[in-house]
Protein backbone atom coordinates (compact mmCIF):
# COMPACT_ATOMS: atom_id res chain seq x y z
CA UNK A 1 0.00 0.00 0.00
CA UNK A 2 1.23 3.48 -0.82
CA UNK A 3 0.43 6.52 1.32
CA UNK A 4 1.62 10.12 1.13
CA UNK A 5 3.32 12.50 3.53
CA UNK A 6 3.66 16.25 3.17
CA UNK A 7 6.55 17.61 5.22
CA UNK A 8 8.98 20.47 5.44
CA UNK A 9 11.88 20.25 3.02
CA UNK A 10 14.33 20.73 5.91
CA UNK A 11 13.10 17.53 7.57
CA UNK A 12 13.33 13.88 6.64
CA UNK A 13 10.23 11.95 5.64
CA UNK A 14 10.16 10.04 8.92
CA UNK A 15 11.24 12.93 11.16
CA UNK A 16 9.14 13.01 14.34
CA UNK A 17 10.23 16.42 15.67
CA UNK A 18 6.90 18.15 14.97
CA UNK A 19 4.84 15.36 16.52
CA UNK A 20 7.11 15.31 19.55
CA UNK A 21 6.72 19.08 20.07
CA UNK A 22 3.01 19.44 19.21
CA UNK A 23 -0.01 17.26 19.90
CA UNK A 24 -2.15 15.88 17.08
CA UNK A 25 -5.52 14.19 16.74
CA UNK A 26 -4.01 10.75 17.44
CA UNK A 27 -1.10 11.54 19.79
CA UNK A 28 -0.12 13.78 22.70
CA UNK A 29 2.86 16.10 22.84
CA UNK A 30 5.99 14.05 23.55
CA UNK A 31 4.88 11.01 21.51
CA UNK A 32 6.89 10.34 18.36
CA UNK A 33 4.71 9.44 15.37
CA UNK A 34 4.60 10.16 11.64
CA UNK A 35 1.34 11.10 9.92
CA UNK A 36 0.56 10.21 6.30
CA UNK A 37 -2.55 10.30 4.11
CA UNK A 38 -4.33 7.80 1.89
CA UNK A 39 -4.00 10.08 -1.16
CA UNK A 40 -1.63 12.85 -2.20
CA UNK A 41 -4.59 15.23 -2.41
CA UNK A 42 -5.58 14.44 1.17
CA UNK A 43 -2.02 15.15 2.34
CA UNK A 44 -2.28 18.56 0.63
CA UNK A 45 -5.70 19.24 2.13
CA UNK A 46 -4.56 18.29 5.63
CA UNK A 47 -1.59 20.66 5.27
CA UNK A 48 -3.83 23.52 4.16
CA UNK A 49 -6.24 22.93 7.05
CA UNK A 50 -3.47 22.89 9.64
CA UNK A 51 -1.90 26.04 8.19
CA UNK A 52 -5.04 27.93 9.20
CA UNK A 53 -4.60 30.56 6.51
CA UNK A 54 -0.95 31.25 7.41
CA UNK A 55 1.80 31.21 4.81
CA UNK A 56 3.06 27.67 4.26
CA UNK A 57 6.83 27.18 4.18
CA UNK A 58 8.39 25.15 1.36
CA UNK A 59 7.02 21.61 1.45
CA UNK A 60 7.81 18.22 -0.03
CA UNK A 61 5.41 15.41 -0.88
CA UNK A 62 6.71 11.88 -0.46
CA UNK A 63 5.21 8.52 -1.41
CA UNK A 64 5.60 5.95 1.38
CA UNK A 65 5.44 2.22 0.67
CA UNK A 66 3.88 -0.02 3.34
CA UNK A 67 4.57 -3.67 2.41
CA UNK A 68 1.62 -6.07 2.29
CA UNK A 69 3.10 -8.10 5.14
CA UNK A 70 3.06 -5.19 7.61
CA UNK A 71 -0.16 -5.38 9.69
CA UNK A 72 -2.32 -2.27 9.79
CA UNK A 73 -4.63 -1.64 12.73
CA UNK A 74 -7.78 0.40 12.01
CA UNK A 75 -9.60 2.60 14.47
CA UNK A 76 -12.95 4.35 14.03
CA UNK A 77 -13.34 8.06 14.72
CA UNK A 78 -12.81 9.30 18.27
CA UNK A 79 -13.13 12.77 19.70
CA UNK A 80 -10.26 14.52 21.48
CA UNK A 81 -8.79 13.77 24.02
CA UNK A 82 -9.87 10.12 23.76
CA UNK A 83 -8.15 9.77 20.37
CA UNK A 84 -4.87 11.09 21.79
CA UNK A 85 -4.95 8.65 24.72
CA UNK A 86 -5.72 5.82 22.30
CA UNK A 87 -2.83 6.77 19.98
CA UNK A 88 -0.38 7.16 22.85
CA UNK A 89 -1.31 3.68 24.13
CA UNK A 90 -1.03 2.25 20.60
CA UNK A 91 2.53 3.63 20.31
CA UNK A 92 3.53 2.58 23.82
CA UNK A 93 2.18 -0.97 23.39
CA UNK A 94 3.72 -1.23 19.88
CA UNK A 95 0.65 -3.11 18.63
CA UNK A 96 1.38 -2.38 14.95
CA UNK A 97 3.67 -0.10 12.98
CA UNK A 98 0.67 1.45 11.16
CA UNK A 99 -2.65 2.77 12.44
CA UNK A 100 -5.39 3.66 9.92
CA UNK A 101 -7.73 6.41 11.16
CA UNK A 102 -10.51 8.47 9.52
CA UNK A 103 -9.76 11.97 8.24
CA UNK A 104 -12.15 14.65 9.44
CA UNK A 105 -11.04 16.80 6.48
CA UNK A 106 -13.26 14.79 4.15
CA UNK A 107 -16.06 13.83 6.54
CA UNK A 108 -14.30 10.58 7.54
CA UNK A 109 -14.61 9.18 4.01
CA UNK A 110 -10.84 8.81 3.55
CA UNK A 111 -8.05 7.77 5.88
CA UNK A 112 -4.93 9.08 7.46
CA UNK A 113 -2.19 6.77 8.67
CA UNK A 114 -0.18 7.10 11.86
CA UNK A 115 3.21 5.39 11.74
CA UNK A 116 5.06 4.21 14.84
CA UNK A 117 8.84 4.51 14.23
CA UNK A 118 9.55 2.49 17.40
CA UNK A 119 7.73 -0.61 16.16
CA UNK A 120 9.92 -3.55 15.01
CA UNK A 121 8.13 -3.63 11.60
CA UNK A 122 8.80 0.05 10.90
CA UNK A 123 12.14 -0.53 9.07
CA UNK A 124 10.18 -2.45 6.40
CA UNK A 125 8.36 0.78 5.49
CA UNK A 126 10.24 2.55 2.68
CA UNK A 127 9.75 5.77 0.74
CA UNK A 128 10.52 7.42 -2.58
CA UNK A 129 12.75 10.49 -2.68
CA UNK A 130 10.88 13.60 -1.48
CA UNK A 131 9.59 15.85 -4.28
CA UNK A 132 9.23 19.59 -3.75
CA UNK A 133 5.58 20.57 -3.81
CA UNK A 134 4.29 23.86 -5.20
CA UNK A 135 0.86 24.88 -3.93
CA UNK A 136 -1.53 26.33 -6.47
CA UNK A 137 -1.36 30.07 -5.70
CA UNK A 138 -5.14 30.20 -5.33
CA UNK A 139 -4.73 28.35 -2.02
CA UNK A 140 -2.30 30.88 -0.58
CA UNK A 141 -3.66 34.05 1.04
CA UNK A 142 -2.45 37.24 -0.61
CA UNK A 143 -2.76 39.49 2.44
Q: Are 80 and 25 in contact (CB under 8 A)?
A: yes
43-89 residue pLDDT tens: 999 988 877 767 777 899 999 999 999 999 999 999 999 999 999 99
d(CA 105, CA 128): 25
Would you state the pLDDT for residue 142? 57
pLDDT of residue 34: 98
Domain ranges of the chain: 1-40+71-125
Burial letters 25-48, b for 16+ CB under 10 A, else e: bbbeeebbbbbbbbebebbbbbbb
Q: What's the pLDDT tens digit per position in 96-143?
A: 999 999 998 888 989 999 999 999 999 999 999 999 998 877 776 655
User: pTM value?
Assistant: 0.92
Torsion 86-89-93-99 (CA) sign: positive
Amino acid sequence: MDVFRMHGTAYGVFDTTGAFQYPGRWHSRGTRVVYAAEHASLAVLETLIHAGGRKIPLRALTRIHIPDGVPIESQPWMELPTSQAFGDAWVREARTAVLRVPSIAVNRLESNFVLNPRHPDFPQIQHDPPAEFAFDPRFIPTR
